Amino acid sequence: MKQKILVVFSLFLLLSLTLAGCGDKITAEEIVAKVRETVENTNDAHGVVKVDVNVQGIEMSMTAEMWEKLPNKFRAEVLEASQDGFAGMTMVSDGQQAWFYDPARNRVMVGPAEEIETPLPQEMLNSLQEVIQKMLDASEVELAGEETVAGYETYRLTLSPKEGSEAEFFPGDGTATLWVDKERWIVLKATYEADTLGQGSIQVQSFELNPGVADDLFYFEVPEGATVVETGTEEPIPLTLDEAKEQAGFPLLLPDYVPEGATLIDVFQVSNGSIVLRYDHSPEVSFAIVQGPELTGPPPLGESQKVTVRDQSATLITDEEGGNTFLYWTENEVTVTIAGHIGLEEALQVVESLK
């Protein structure tokens, strides 16, 4: 009899402990609430993050150091990058004025914060926290387990779109996963995967919450010798073809061949002196030929390769799925670029016909 009582008591005790554990188990909603509370209670922050992207053939890896301070001060410096020309890029905003430094061109864009345009890596960093918060708002969140990330214990959350959510947060009908630090309630890692689109991840390598970031970090000291360009001063100047030939300062190359239906619709000069010839009016093709002292902007993301055109070494970046080509080289001390919605074979025909 005593043995039966002992067994019943043991089972009762085990059941009680199990139920007590279930009662204490945190829910996905509670984790999200704690993340929001952390964000609301953070006045400034400093950290290092690593970004990896593989989307529709575009592969990129980048590590950046970031500083933020309420209400809208921000600084990001790219420490390492797999893409040429991105390491050293710096974006700074004091909430009103912003600076974007492109070390590859030794140029600083300066102007109102809302008017500064930056390439993809900086855009991702600038809006990182905002995007995560918006995704949480648009998601059904599920607690999927517990894992260790960078030595920290985390909760793993999976996010899927709520009915009626905007497609921009879940392109390609993908799934997002967040790893949330159990003690400090910040997102240490985030990934996004979509079968038709690709995947990307952001991981925090180190961070400080409310360290007391100094205001002078949100002012950018222009490097000696760097070119400073004010936003709004880069409006292209429309030209006739004859005017472009006169103002180029070099023999302007014109194509003998363009794809069927393509027509020269615009000729203009940009701030660095480059001449742009824009071709359109074809249902299949829309591209530009740019000639000048340097690239008018950083090359697009994507795997590049070296090819030979017009007996010159050229850099080629293609997007086969989107039908886009970006090809540039230097000829007679002039940088020539053909870029746009044009297939590689057609682009090469245009290039070889330039005279």
Low-confidence ranges of the chain (pLDDT < 70): 1-24, 55-58, 117-135, 164-173, 196-197, 232-235, 295-303, 321
Asked if residue 352 lies in contact with residue 309, where contact means CB atoms within 8 angstroms, the answer is: yes
> Distance (Å, rounded) from C-alpha 178 to C-alpha 283?
42
Q: Is the pTM of this model over 0.75?
A: no
> Distance (Å, rounded) from C-alpha 352 to C-alpha 355?
9
Phi, psi of 333 (to 5 degrees): 65, 15
In 3D space, the residue among 334, 338, 333, 336 whose CA is nearest the CA of residue 348 turns out to be 338
Q: What is the pLDDT of residue 166?
A: 57
* CATH domain 235-352 topology: Phosphorylase Kinase; domain 1 (3.30.200)
In 3D space, the residue among 83, 84, 114, 81 whose CA is nearest the CA of residue 100 turns out to be 114
CATH architecture of 28-218: Clam (2.50)
Phi, psi of 330 (to 5 degrees): -115, 130
Give yes or no on whether 28-218 and 235-352 have one common fold. no
Cβ neighbors of 12 (< 8 A, separation 6 or more) are none
Q: What is the pLDDT of residue 301?
A: 58
What are the boundaries of each domain within the chain? 28-218, 235-352
In angstroms, what CA-CA distances link 219 with 60, 65, 67? 28, 16, 12
- 152-161 sheet: strands from edge to edge: 139-149, 152-161, 175-181, 187-194, 198-209, 44-55, 58-69, 73-81, 90-93, 97-102, 107-112, 227-230
